[in-house]
Structure 1
């Protein structure tokens, strides 16, 4: 199914891009929030699966995809992203939505539960919890903001396969190509393919990691109690540890939880063992 492309304005004047799938408004829409360096294209297949009976919105954060880049890299932080999401929902007059948060998107979902719980009809947390494992955090910090270029999508795909093989040991060549097309964009001026985000995310993230007083997200996670929640973990994940995942289930015993084999950070939301459970979960939110 085709999607419509739109922009909305942030409170500080940036044009922020989003895709809109579907037309039926009988149920709360799905609001898809991507990972740190990712964009709205990650959710295309997911959106096509679910837009037959409800709208699906997939957002590009500032500095990603087709959204404007921010001249002030310090605005690349979760508080600003959450404000942008809130502004999107209010500008569209969306009373409630099912938040589908991958990695950073899941952190933002928890954050929204802390200050705008009334907007959340349900939550899917994809391989993220209130604590980030040190190994995964350091790995992400190491690669974000490195301006590595490739002459073709095929070459980029091979490099991505080497880097992320542990997370996706069973992807085919065609699937790696498909992932790379969502990751890279052609730079006409340079004549090569670059990552589809602002490289200033690197210093922004480094500054946040240097913060001596990190935010305790467990109280925000606790705000999801009473809201239908599905938590997903890749068995190979280096971001969401098994211990934290267990603690999440103890803290919120009504939360549905599923672990996916042969997936690290992050599951792609198209895994056969997940689809039936996710279909039922989403269908149950009306």
Structure 2
């Protein structure tokens, strides 16, 4: 069975240097690279099942976005924003492609926004793009829900308490086995210096979200649509049928402008499909590999 290699690359922000950790699956000499980018409070381990399944065709690279998991933290949390993440991914892609300048991209939620930002740039390296339950227009109430969740500095005395919390707040992911829920929880939990269980990310992530105003939200939406309209590569949009972040109307609009994304909606799932299930993995394989 294929096992990942743990690596890291040094990146830079206006506040200094930081390291971005990543998991690499498949033949290290394979120049056919797929980058998998996770959601706002998740980690690279989310893609273990997808990466294992696609490593027969790709070298699959799964980074922990800075501030999460095994990656470093930013000295100034105000830089926890998509432009910084895009900059980090440009550095990562330069490291892993070794003179080959093209990659395919799979992005869940925030990871999809990073992919959109990268794929919209002139001369960008993205050959195929998968956007998992994310688009240029996001529901304000859903954003507020996510912001509240991120900013709660919760500490649990036992792993079982922490695991139950993660499962409770992740019900929108849809049905999973107990084993899958166990993995979804343990991947994002760690123990602090006092032995309490906490979520594996920098609490500073919440600071830029708290600074969002209705005016800045509208401005960001206009910028995101402009970015989406600039994308020219083949694009697959996956939407959870019950998603409260990406509306059906926005998803349909994304099939009619910009790259005219192919749309697949997954029944009985909200935000966001986890791609732990074989039928979901098959959707990604069909688009990416054929």
TM beyond 0.5: yes
Any stretches of 5+ residues in structure 1 without a counterpart?
Answer: none
Any stretches of 5+ residues in structure 2 without a counterpart?
Answer: none
After superposition, the C-alpha distances for 1:121-149 in whole angstroms (9 at most, x for unaligned) are 10010000111111211111111121112
Residues 1:170 and 2:171 are matched in the alignment: no
Report how many residues are paired: 281
Aligned residues of 1:260 and 1:273 also touching (Cα < 8 A): no
Question: What is the CA-CA distance between 1:176 and the residue it aligns to?
Answer: 1.6
Aligned residues of 1:35 and 1:104 also touching (Cα < 8 A): yes
Q: Map 1:56-205; keep pairs closer than 5 Å.
A: 56-92=60-96, 93=98, 94-165=100-171, 167-187=172-192, 189-205=193-209
Q: For residues 112 and 2 of structure 1, what CA distance do their matches in structure 2 show?
A: 28
After superposition, the C-alpha distances for 1:13-48 in whole angstroms (9 at most, x for unaligned) are 212111111116555311011111111111111111
Task: Find the partner of 2:47 among 43, 47, 60.
Answer: 43
Q: Which moved more, 1:23-32 or 1:87-96?
A: 23-32
From the superposition, tell whether residues 130 and 117 of structure 1 become closer, same or farther in structure 2 (CA, over 3 Å).
farther
For residue 10 of structure 1, give the secondary structure of its aligned residue in structure 2. Answer: strand
Q: For residues 154 and 269 of structure 2, what CA distance do their matches in structure 1 show?
A: 25
For residue 94 of structure 2, give the secondary structure of its aligned residue in structure 1. Answer: helix
Q: Which moved more, 1:174-183 or 1:111-120?
A: 111-120
Question: What is the CA-CA distance between 1:88 and the residue it aligns to?
Answer: 1.2
What TM-score results when the alignment is normalised by the length of structure 1? 0.91
Aligned residues of 1:147 and 1:199 also touching (Cα < 8 A): yes
What TM-score results when the alignment is normalised by the length of structure 2? 0.90
From the superposition, tell whether residues 120 and 168 of structure 1 become closer, same or farther in structure 2 (CA, over 3 Å).
closer
* CA RMSD between the two structures: 1.9
Aligned residues of 1:145 and 1:198 also touching (Cα < 8 A): no
Residues 1:278 and 2:284 are matched in the alignment: yes
Question: What is the CA-CA distance between 1:279 and the residue it aligns to?
Answer: 1.5
In structure 1, the partner of 2:252 is: 246
Q: For residues 144 and 5 of structure 1, what CA distance do their matches in structure 2 show?
A: 26
For residue 274 of structure 1, give the secondary structure of its aligned residue in structure 2. Answer: helix
From the superposition, tell whether residues 83 and 178 of structure 1 become closer, same or farther in structure 2 (CA, over 3 Å).
same
Q: For residues 104 and 37 of structure 1, what CA distance do their matches in structure 2 show?
A: 9
Residues 1:2 and 2:7 are matched in the alignment: no
Q: For residues 263 and 221 of structure 2, what CA distance do their matches in structure 1 show?
A: 24
Q: For residues 28 and 176 of structure 2, what CA distance do their matches in structure 1 show?
A: 33
Q: Which moved more, 1:93-102 or 1:270-279?
A: 270-279
Q: For residues 106 and 271 of structure 1, what CA distance do their matches in structure 2 show?
A: 19
